[in-house]
Structure 1
């Protein structure tokens, strides 16, 4: 989940929900709830889905700061709890806000309000120099929560490894942004085409592994093109990635498309052969699943939740973070064997079709929240 832009300096109620006829839920998110990323799209879809069931849902925004400076806001948030948070049957807190809300969570619990963490992925799992700090803050946050909703089985395992005995529920995100209408015959025809077209979908941020991908394709023995699609919230990193492409001598083969409309993104996915996002970590990896709807095998991160979507050698490849050789080997396996590319693309279609229906996910989350609210 990409980091949201800076939020306001105080918590705000960001949405006036018409009164529902059942469960009263408050959702706390960091920064702007309209942020464009898979995690925030999940939050918005969950709000809409819960409201459709008759639940009342109010969304509150808390400040966002570069990690872990948000911990400076924790004391103020813990003492200035809005009444409408206390009045909710259950408060759901996006785990990305853990640094600023761990005190708020504990205060709500002491006041008798159940709190459920919504975990896309744990910050500590990114494995950078701040991982030890994240582990301590996330343990405080999760230990203070009543329960946790996790977007994937691997994320659930991470949560349970950090806080033993916490009650959890797995709720995979929807895969319905597109209506690909791609069939195996389309995948087979496309597999024979040249040049070999790679798409990397996701925000242009360090965690997504664009430098690893560029170094891998620079040594690929094939006629290829790479489309990098996604918003660029970090201008310095975006310049660095473009400089790497130029230094490697592949800038003419790489196009940076930025953020695209749904229709334009669908057109890029439809014409591509493979989706490659060798991230440092993915809590779920919605981009992999969305690509599979277009028959694209995935070159994915072995760290995090992608293994719940990608089956090694069947519909994609799982590569360790930073493994340039592993990404290059996966690409070579597909560029050099177009029959295999077609078979794996067809397997990707099957995995996409097997993904749970979003209505079932929402129903499961609502039942779980109701049980937690009732003290179950």
Structure 2
């Protein structure tokens, strides 16, 4: 039996900019998950609440396979979070998913109860798909942000090598079917937008930075007495942290460089074993999961942020490092060159090339003080365009179908 509200158009006022919007944000990954998509959704939701909008978030359940509505503290704001029953995908260290054949029913009930003006999905997988399909039936405006590449999940599919390319082709076709329901499609960077357009029929994909509040981070512009490398992020295969460990062995021992890995993931034990085999375990620290305060402190005290990942659609962690005044050495892959301008706020290196990575790191560590300070200021200047308020302005305009400011 159809819903009594099904098919009724939902319109957003474009004449009264003071009227708050009722926004439903659909996330297949959210707190307590630690990854770029989850962090973006948290900051987006909290920022919209601070601006007076009414925000509801849909996310997988945390521990128990129970569906419920909770008030959760996200980025210092009280948010209404609807948790749908989910199950752990055990090949992955944290991924939980809602059963697809249940998601549509959950979506129908929630949309009838919340009646949002706009739905903003963060992926096309399960929750985003269900909300987009059921929302489009009701005439609700859909905005979609793509954080997912099918290539990124290959390591967790358990598929044989011969089947992986077929999975990628199916994944992009599947994304296209969901994203075509959206009135606006965004990605974090222009390179990610180009990548999405090459692999789907979507056009006019808009790059919108995930954004961050730079004032939350502290830059240390004083002389450094120690050479500290740091990486922040999930400890997974696509991050290629092993390349950084191998580069560490190539650095001049007189530099006495240390390396801190802030984060956790399924590759931690293998990387700890590799560090021991390479003879650098005494110079490598695995912190595991830490608080936001500890994360920011680790960035402030570091000398260089190093990232070897080849699958970043933006990299919030790199932006956090830049807001902390760090030079960055990054793989010349995907979106990282949008953040790291070679020779200005850091250096790029050929992905997987630990020798070249070591050369770039050593070049920064041996820089005269004035050159190093110039790179620090370049990072601080470059990250300004990623201010969260610009991101919020853009999405509020997209929600209302208004011209994008600036």
Bin for the TM-score computed over the shorter chain: 0.7 to 0.9
What is the distance in 1 between the residues matched to 2:198 and 2:297? 41
**Structure 1 residue 137: Cα displacement:** 2.6
Is the Cα–Cα contact under 8 Å of residues 187 and 205 in structure 2 kept in the other structure? Answer: yes
Q: 1:122 aligns with which of 125, 144, 149?
A: 149
**Structure 1 residue 362: Cα displacement:** 0.7
Which residues in structure 2 correspond to 1:150-165 (within 5 Å)? 150-165=187-202
What is the distance in 2 between the residues matched to 1:173 and 1:165? 20
Classify 1:323/1:171 alpha carbon distance in 2 versus 1 (closer, same or farther; 3 Å).
same
Classify 1:101/1:48 alpha carbon distance in 2 versus 1 (closer, same or farther; 3 Å).
closer
Which residues in structure 2 correspond to 1:51-200 (within 5 Å)? 51-62=49-60, 63=86, 66=89, 73-85=99-111, 87-95=115-123, 98=125, 101-102=128-129, 105-124=132-151, 129=164, 131-176=168-213, 179-182=216-219, 184=221, 186=222, 189-190=223-224, 193-194=225-226, 196-200=227-231
TM-score, structure 1 normalization: 0.80
The answer for unaligned runs of 5 or more in structure 2 is: 1-17, 61-85, 156-163
What is the distance in 1 between the residues matched to 2:377 and 2:198? 35
Which residues in structure 2 correspond to 1:3-14 (within 5 Å)? none
Classify 1:135/1:45 alpha carbon distance in 2 versus 1 (closer, same or farther; 3 Å).
same
User: Is residue 256 of structure 1 aligned with residue 256 of structure 2?
Assistant: no
| 216-225 vs 115-124, which moves further | 115-124
Classify 1:355/1:72 alpha carbon distance in 2 versus 1 (closer, same or farther; 3 Å).
closer
Superposition CA RMSD, Å: 3.0
Task: Please name the residue that 2:333 is paired with.
Answer: 303
Q: 1:201 aligns with which of 208, 213, 232?
A: 232
TM-score, structure 2 normalization: 0.74
What is the distance in 1 between the residues matched to 2:54 and 2:121? 16
Is the Cα–Cα contact under 8 Å of residues 281 and 303 in structure 1 kept in the other structure? Answer: yes
Post-superposition Cα deviations, 1:309-329, rounded to whole Å, max 9, x if no partner, equal 110121122334322223222
Is the Cα–Cα contact under 8 Å of residues 204 and 233 in structure 1 kept in the other structure? Answer: yes
Is the Cα–Cα contact under 8 Å of residues 99 and 138 in structure 1 kept in the other structure? Answer: no
Task: Please name the residue that 1:14 is paired with.
Answer: none
| 166-175 vs 196-205, which moves further | 166-175
**Structure 1 residue 70: Cα displacement:** 8.4
User: Is residue 41 of structure 1 aligned with residue 39 of structure 2?
Assistant: yes
**Structure 1 residue 135: Cα displacement:** 2.3
**Structure 1 residue 166: Cα displacement:** 3.7
Query: SS at the partner of 2:55?
Result: strand
What is the distance in 2 between the residues matched to 1:364 and 1:119? 16
**Structure 1 residue 33: Cα displacement:** 3.7
**Structure 1 residue 26: Cα displacement:** 1.2
What is the distance in 2 between the residues matched to 1:110 and 1:217? 55
Is the Cα–Cα contact under 8 Å of residues 125 and 131 in structure 1 kept in the other structure? Answer: no
Aligned residue pairs, count? 342
Is the Cα–Cα contact under 8 Å of residues 259 and 284 in structure 2 kept in the other structure? Answer: yes
**Structure 1 residue 77: Cα displacement:** 2.3
Query: SS at the partner of 1:82?
Result: helix
Classify 1:343/1:35 alpha carbon distance in 2 versus 1 (closer, same or farther; 3 Å).
same
Query: SS at the partner of 2:99?
Result: helix
Is the Cα–Cα contact under 8 Å of residues 178 and 262 in structure 1 kept in the other structure? Answer: no
Classify 1:197/1:31 alpha carbon distance in 2 versus 1 (closer, same or farther; 3 Å).
closer
**Structure 1 residue 157: Cα displacement:** 2.0
What is the distance in 1 between the residues matched to 2:349 and 2:172? 24
**Structure 1 residue 82: Cα displacement:** 2.6
What is the distance in 1 between the residues matched to 2:336 and 2:153? 14
**Structure 1 residue 127: Cα displacement:** 7.7
Post-superposition Cα deviations, 1:168-212, rounded to whole Å, max 9, x if no partner, equal 33332333266445365x2xx22xx34x21011112122221111
**Structure 1 residue 241: Cα displacement:** 0.6
Task: Please name the residue that 1:268 is paired with.
Answer: 298
What is the distance in 1 between the residues matched to 2:337 and 2:312? 10
Is the Cα–Cα contact under 8 Å of residues 26 and 59 in structure 2 kept in the other structure? Answer: yes
Is the Cα–Cα contact under 8 Å of residues 119 and 143 in structure 2 kept in the other structure? Answer: yes
**Structure 1 residue 254: Cα displacement:** 0.6
